[in-house]
Amino acid sequence: FWLKLFQVFKCFSFSEFPSLISVSSVASMSAQPTAQKQPSWWQRIFTTAPRGQYAVDEKQQVVKENEFILMRWNLLFLIFDFIVIPLPLWIDLVCPIFAAIYGLFVGWLGAFLLTVCAVRSLQANFLMKKVVDDTWEEKIPRGTEEEKRLADNLQHLVMMCGYKEPMEVICQSIDSLAAQSAAHRLIVVIGLEEGTPDVAEKAARLKERYGRSFKRFHVTKHPKQWAGGREIRCKCSNANYTMRAAVTRLEEYGDLDLSCTTATSCDTDSIFAPRYFENLGYQFLTSPKAKEVVWQAPLYYNHFLNERPFYVRAIGIMRAAYMLGFLIPFNINTMSIF
């Protein structure tokens, strides 16, 4: 309580409350005029916010009358988990022969899919190990004037949304961005929630520590119900606000060039390989379908893996294998970093 009270008196400014100043004090102050000092870049913490055409999310403003959602598509996975997979267990009460045939089919199909997953995962790991130390910056084509322009102006917009994560976790992730070989090409935007504890203090610490580590560094504060009453309090709403704020600032700087800009969404506990964005830039500038695809990075759930219980280690390894074996090569869906 006393610390908060001290901060209030410390931040108190009589210039904002002229009615509280006596006449004699005004006279003495007028005798020594001083220029009003503008707040420094470090004091203006939350300077990035959606403006102009990005300041309103029109889709969220639309109120549909008598809106009733019967079922969401993600609930189909629950139907699959609770009905299709255990089907042999309860169908055996009705038709034992069908249950036996179904069990054999599912067993052989599962074995085949796991074999494919293992082979594709090993191939991906061997490929990454082979090229992990390659210098991709030198491989970017610069033969024509257009290729040289794209290579020189290449930049990566990195958006990281957080809420109540410890500062140590957030800083560990940003440190991996600062250690990138292409850190000078990164525009990092950290999206915090308005309800984040000590949000202003955390934003100031992040700006102080990383303000000069990248091409640009910004911190946003997502207000509650910013897009309207239909806005859901989750990462997607924060990401919507943060990306709009980032694009607004890029337009103000004159740096919004979609022909040489990538956008990456990640979590606050994501650790990047040192040449990740260098490789991403090479892939983006050399792929003929660069603007038609989503670049999905493989995820390894190995943070302090040796300190976890055995079942956590097993699940983490299997999830990484499934991503390398199924999700990425067969373009099934994106995960966390894309």
pLDDT in tens, 265-321: 988 888 999 999 999 999 999 998 888 888 888 888 887 888 888 888 998 888 888
Q: What is the CA radius of gyration of the chain?
A: 26
Burial class of residue 53, CB neighbours in 10 A (0-12, 13-18, 19+): exposed
pLDDT at 298: 85
Q: What angle do CA 210, 301, 236 make, to 5 degrees?
A: 60
Measured CA to CA, the distance from residue 172 to residue 195 in angstroms comes to 22
Measured CA to CA, the distance from residue 105 to residue 156 in angstroms comes to 47
pLDDT at 67: 59
E-strand ranges in the chain read: 155-161, 186-193, 216-222, 261-266
Neighbouring-strand partners of residue 261: 155
Measured CA to CA, the distance from residue 235 to residue 17 in angstroms comes to 39
pLDDT average per 10 residues of sequence, the chain (338 residues) = 36 31 29 42 56 65 61 71 76 80 83 91 90 88 92 93 90 94 94 88 91 91 78 82 87 86 90 92 90 85 84 89 86 77
Helices 96-131 and 310-322 cross at an angle (nearest 10°) of: 80
Structure tokens at 42: 């470090």
Measured CA to CA, the distance from residue 24 to residue 31 in angstroms comes to 11
Residue 184 identity: H
pLDDT at 28: 31
pLDDT at 210: 93
Burial class of residue 15, CB neighbours in 10 A (0-12, 13-18, 19+): exposed
Q: Are 191 and 159 in contact (CB under 8 A)?
A: yes
pLDDT at 50: 73
Q: Among the residues of the chain, which ranges form H helices? A: 2-10, 23-31, 58-61, 75-79, 87-91, 96-131, 145-153, 167-178, 199-210, 235-253, 276-286, 310-322
- How many other C-beta atoms lie within 10 A of the C-beta of residue 158? 24
pLDDT at 184: 94
Structure tokens at 16: 């904002």
pLDDT at 63: 60
